[in-house]
Amino acid sequence: MRSQSATHSFNFALDYASTTIGKSVVIHADCLEWLGRLPENSLHAIVTDPPYGVKEYAFDQIEKRANGNGGVWRIPPAFDGSQRAPLPRFTALTHKEREALSRFFLEWSKLAVHALRPGGHVFIASNAFLSQPVFSALVAGGLEFRGELIRLVRTFRGGDRPKNAEDEFPGVCSLPRGCYEPWGIFRKPLPPGMKVSDCLREYQTGGLRRVNDDQPFNDVIPSERTPQRERDIADHPSLKPQSFLRQIVRAALPLREGVIADTFMGAGSTIAAAEASGLLSIGVERFADYYELSKTAIPKLARVPVTLSFDLD
């Protein structure tokens, strides 16, 4: 086995504010700037949950959400008698905002290609409504599309009857009720002439870790909404569940060697999943409050027990 400390001897924090938590480092920075400053070929994988529509995590929109002032964050209609938390309204993005979204992910993709090792995988969360322009931009930036991972989860999106005409068209819904979350699977192209086996030997990348000897990694994962116990630890509007993320971070490092980055860390659920799995990871977050939150949330989330219906090897 190649040395783990050798892969982590580089100072990924550069000159940004940072904290070490177990095997992980969390960094307060803008990830576009951070990725651009990394040496070429320094990351083995990226597992991340970006701002799907870009706009919803602009500083002014985060503030509007906190003050209950609307913006792109709207309270959806109550469901089963319970009040729902604000959700960003992606259907309301204008043509200009969709163009800005494509430019953002094009730039991010180019920087990810620069920072990843050849064969390094990217798992990136999206939304059924926006995955098409986002994935196209990632390909235009140089990442190779390797398929989609379906996280089976009831999202509460869509399924509503036409607005203000519910009684007139009771048998119609304007969008399907969301029952899955699409995650793009991408890879930095292998160098010409290299096979996956060569890439594994040279860069410890190129493939995905199997679930166990009997099962490969599958691209449909039954999941759950983030449990309240985890939400109580980390009050972030987009917190992902440990039961899901621990399967993803594990798959992203085929030999369990190297460094995973989450460039849109939020409260640090990906980093916690890596910690729980004994893997090295780096989280980058631009918003100071979420960066601070991650420092206390990661060790607690990493200790949350999860039950899977199969054994990971």
Ligand X SMILES: C[S@@+](CC[C@H](N)C(=O)[O-])C[C@H]1O[C@@H](n2cnc3c(N)ncnc32)[C@H](O)[C@@H]1O
Q: In the complex, which residues of this chain contact ligand X (CB under 6 A)?
A: 30-32, 49-51, 57, 236, 238-240, 264, 266-267, 269, 284-287, 290
19 exposed, middle or buried (CB, 10 Å; 0-12, 13-18, 19+)?
middle
Choose between 57 and 186: whose C-beta lies nearer to ligand X: 57
**Angle (CA) 128 228 131, round 5°:** 10
Choose between 151 and 236: whose C-beta lies nearer to ligand X: 236
Smallest Cα–Cα separation from 181: which of 226, 125, 231? 125
Contacts of 142 (CB under 8 A, 6+ apart): 109, 110, 113, 188, 189
Choose between 42 and 238: whose C-beta lies nearer to ligand X: 238
Choose between 9 and 67: whose C-beta lies nearer to ligand X: 67
Count of C-beta atoms within a 10 Å radius of residue 217: 18
Closest distance of CB 32 from ligand X, Å: 5
Choose between 30 and 63: whose C-beta lies nearer to ligand X: 30
Closest distance of CB 81 from ligand X, Å: 27
- Residues 302, 267: contact at Cβ < 8 Å? no
Closest distance of CB 236 from ligand X, Å: 4
CA–CA separation, 5 and 285 (whole Å): 24
Contacts of 289 (CB under 8 A, 6+ apart): none
Closest distance of CB 207 from ligand X, Å: 25
Choose between 205 and 270: whose C-beta lies nearer to ligand X: 270
Which string of b and e fits 158-167 if b means at least 16 CB within 10 Å?
Answer: eeeeeeeeee
Choose between 7 and 127: whose C-beta lies nearer to ligand X: 127
Closest residue to ligand X: CB criterion: 266
Contacts of 281 (CB under 8 A, 6+ apart): 23, 24, 25, 249, 259, 260, 261, 262, 270, 271, 274, 275
